[in-house]
Structure 1
Amino acid sequence: MSPTGSPGAKAAKPTKPAQPWVVCRNAPPTPFEHPQWVPDSVVGGAKLGVSGVIADVGPGVAPPPEVYDVSYVIADLDSGEILAAKSPHAWLRPASTLKTLTALTLMPRLDPRTVVVASDDAQQAAGSRVGILAGNRYTVGNLVDAMLMFSANDAVYALADAAGGYDKTVALMNDTARDIGAHDTVVVDPSGLDEGNQRSSAYDLALIARDAMRLPAFRAAVVKRDAVFPGGKDKQGKEWKAFHVYNINELLRHYPGAIGIKPGRTDRAQHTFIGAATRGGRTLVVAQMGSVTGSWRPTAALLDWGFANADKVTPVGMLVAPGEAGPATPQPSLTSLTDGSADTPSEPATATGTPAPAPLTASGSAPAGADRTSLVAVSGAGALLTAAAAGLVIRHRRRRRQTSEGPS
């Protein structure tokens, strides 16, 4: 007998409650702690020193679209006017967008026809690789294409060797960043891997991209859809044929008028991106950091907003010219006004004795008990010294260490 009391009748299945639609996303990265700056000293303008969305849209103009990025900048590539931004000077890890600075630093110094013999160390680079073979010969032009189109870390290290070595390249990149006003940027590894206190900001990435796009060879490389990369012979004597390298920047395939520039991704940085496009005689650049999606669509939405409203909004800041701006001035801290006997505990020191930057809390405030004087010490020359010392250790393990740096 069935539960209904009728012979042969089937029992009704219990109804399951409706389940909510759950979308899982990675947690966005937390910016490094940095000092509060004197507003008038903030690079690019006083308005850029705050957190959150910054836009002066006026009546009847829609605000910028909401995106998942922790930080972004929308700017006119030619005039340097910043149309809108979100936490533009937040210190975040740049991932492979840092290769834009690598290119800006090395391309003017290296003849694209120069032949480079690849080292074992370069061949064994961690993360994304084009597949160079130790002992084989490649031109600087081949390596630049692989670095900018395919985000190849092995190509980066081969270029660094051609420029005088890993340490010299890191020093040159830090000098270049400082010279153009990218004072949020500290370089530890020229490939963009998550090493030490390596960091940048959306403001700096837009600034770096603007200067890099003034180099005709850079501009030509980042817009290429594919290029032929040479083959060679491996240590077992096997011959490898030349092959095509494709540009991994999806904006080029999906957004009309796109002209570059560079994506990036690591576990700690999440997704970073610099994009540029031309429409109606105007070229805009968008720099994004800390995205959890990696999609080209948020970039397209920011660009669409910029093109639609560039003549309707009041710029909130400027991308400075090289040599125009020094680093921002930290505001005096409470401890600096005392006799030095404050009982606030200091942060743990790094191997060089310089306090490491503590991450922001979810609210954007410093952790309880943080020593503000120590945080100030991280900025400027202190951070660069930390990066340089860290580089001496990291260079011996950077390539073989397993990392989650993806193809971007």
Structure 2
Amino acid sequence: MPSTARRPVVALVLSACTLMATALFAAPVGSAQPTSSSSTQPSGSGRPSAPGTSGADEPDDKTSAPPSSACTNREAPPPAVTESENPAPGERAPAPLPVPEKPLGGDRMGECGLVLPPNSDSPPATVTADSWLLADLTSGAVLAANDPHGRQRPASTTKVLLAVAVARELNPNATVTATQEDVEQECTCIGLRVGGQYTVQELTQALLMASGNDVANALARQLGGQANALRKMNAVAKELGAQDTRAVTPTGLEAPGTSTSAYDVALIFRAAMKFSVISEAFATPRIDFGANSGKGTVPVLNDNRLLESYRGALGGRSGYTDDALHTYVGAAERNGKKLVAVLLRGEAQPLPIADQAAKLLDWGFTIPEADANPVGQLVAGAPQANTNEPQTSTSGAPDDEAGASTASQPTAMNRAFGNVGGPITAVAAVGVLAAMVLALRSRRARAARAKRMAQQQAQF
């Protein structure tokens, strides 16, 4: 074949290859490219970048959080003092949850110390909690806080998250039969009787009023077993935007990977109070509950000490473990304003944790024009851009974050087949196909020409 005949084919093949290379290697990455959840690169919020966030290209805000080195609990709660969070032999503890680059609820929610509105008085000195938050229950406006996204342990405030999953999944009139597994739970316990039958509503009331761990286990079984219950609890947390929260037991007792924050507890409590079965349980001083003897009933009293002693109290839930220390979430209403207070990792001195919450609520009701100058906002749901949070496994703990992050990393190939690379790649593919057809036709033409020349030579 003459060189002039080969040139168009060669040029077409080269053009097709050039287009394919452009699509594969020159497609723009874009600002949505995830970063490793373990990155410690500083940002405007003072928190490391995490998969799925979209604020990496925004300028730093001089009023945002202090340097990340000051946020001692930005990734995980303080070290445990017991062995409750030691992994079982042959297992490993889940990696800490990714820390969003931009703190949920506003830049100031990323600060690690006191977060106060302008010209406000100092909060009560009797508040000992390492992390606390005060917010308007109706609007979600955060009035004040201290290390709101600092990661802590929830203790029995986890039962509020369990109650939300129950309220969404189960018929309150459904019957639950208690088992030996329920009554063998580490207490505090209500006193379920093996074979005893209770309604979901009765168990929910006992869960929120008196923090029964036997009741929590029974409700988790009704949700499909502990693994499924934890999966559903973590799905609720994710849907609400509670990015610091990982439920590892339905009771709030610790296990490897446990995590929450004052911001998240307030977020979950606000959602919970929209269910009448939950808000009514919080506000109920006493119910008659089936006795574990099987004969008659016994009283179950609401152990929230503010319910009857604090004017306008709407209810709440306290908790304690050796690792979590004292925790509390509760709400009150005065003059048409509803506030929620969360305290995590508090001491019982100089006042019990519920009384510290009362002091914090008193102070919150006096903050002038608090709604006009909020320091943050309880979000109404998970941010749309945050699509790379780890999924919960059947054990209730998120799958390996590294695996989840790797699965979402953009590669040269999936960039090529994106919005821009797709059309380019399609053109390249058509060019390659056309080049192959032309090359085949050229080869056949050369063969036919050679055959004719051979026949002509044979005649002579």
Cross-structure match for 1:308: 366
**Structure with bigger gyration radius:** 2
Counterparts of 1:386 and 1:157, CA distance in 2: 16
Cross-structure match for 1:226: 286
Structure 2 runs not aligned, ≥5 long: 1-72, 80-95, 400-460
Cross-structure match for 2:355: 297
Cross-structure match for 1:173: 233
Whether the aligned pair in 2 keeps the contact of 1:183 and 1:326 (CA below 8 Å) is no
Cross-structure match for 2:416: none
Residue number among 324, 333, 340 corresponding to 1:278 in the alignment: 333
Greater share of helix: 2
What SS does the aligned partner of 1:265 have? Answer: strand
What SS does the aligned partner of 2:353 have? Answer: coil
Whether the aligned pair in 2 keeps the contact of 1:181 and 1:325 (CA below 8 Å) is no
What SS does the aligned partner of 1:107 have? Answer: helix
Which TM-score applies when normalising by structure 2?
0.62
Q: Aligned in 2, Cα 1:325/1:54: closer, same or farther, shift over 3 Å?
A: farther
Post-superposition offset of 1:388: 3.5
Aligned length: 304
1:65 matched to 2:120: no
Q: What is the CA RMSD across the aligned residues, in angstroms?
A: 2.4
What SS does the aligned partner of 2:317 have? Answer: strand
Amino acid at match of 1:94: P
Cross-structure match for 1:254: 309
Cross-structure match for 1:31: 78
Counterparts of 1:300 and 1:158, CA distance in 2: 32
Cross-structure match for 1:406: none
Structure 1 runs not aligned, ≥5 long: 1-27, 234-238, 330-379, 392-408
- Post-superposition Cα deviations, 1:142-191, rounded to whole Å, max 9, x if no partner, equal 11111000100100111111111111000000000000000100011011
Whether the aligned pair in 2 keeps the contact of 1:183 and 1:327 (CA below 8 Å) is no
Residue number among 39, 45, 50 corresponding to 2:106 in the alignment: 45
- Post-superposition Cα deviations, 1:186-228, rounded to whole Å, max 9, x if no partner, equal 0110110011121110000000000000111111000110001
1:144 matched to 2:204: yes
Q: Aligned in 2, Cα 1:63/1:35: closer, same or farther, shift over 3 Å?
A: farther
- Post-superposition Cα deviations, 1:250-294, rounded to whole Å, max 9, x if no partner, equal 111221000011111111100100010000000000011000114
Counterparts of 2:201 and 2:321, CA distance in 1: 26
Whether the aligned pair in 1 keeps the contact of 2:180 and 2:194 (CA below 8 Å) is yes
Amino acid at match of 1:73: L
Q: Aligned in 2, Cα 1:34/1:52: closer, same or farther, shift over 3 Å?
A: farther
Counterparts of 2:310 and 2:316, CA distance in 1: 12
Whether the aligned pair in 2 keeps the contact of 1:43 and 1:328 (CA below 8 Å) is no
Counterparts of 1:310 and 1:217, CA distance in 2: 33
Residue number among 303, 314, 318 corresponding to 2:377 in the alignment: 318
Counterparts of 1:180 and 1:221, CA distance in 2: 22
Whether the aligned pair in 2 keeps the contact of 1:260 and 1:276 (CA below 8 Å) is yes
Cross-structure match for 1:207: 267
Whether the aligned pair in 1 keeps the contact of 2:231 and 2:395 (CA below 8 Å) is no
What SS does the aligned partner of 1:132 have? Answer: coil
Post-superposition offset of 1:111: 1.2
Counterparts of 1:258 and 1:264, CA distance in 2: 18
Which TM-score applies when normalising by structure 1?
0.70
Counterparts of 1:265 and 1:183, CA distance in 2: 22
- Post-superposition Cα deviations, 1:282-319, rounded to whole Å, max 9, x if no partner, equal 00000110001143221111111111115157211000
Amino acid at match of 2:241: G
Residue number among 54, 62, 66 corresponding to 2:115 in the alignment: 54
Percent of residue pairs bearing the same amino acid type = 36
5 Å matches for 1:34-183? 37-38=100-101, 41-58=102-119, 61-66=120-125, 67-183=127-243
Counterparts of 1:250 and 1:198, CA distance in 2: 27
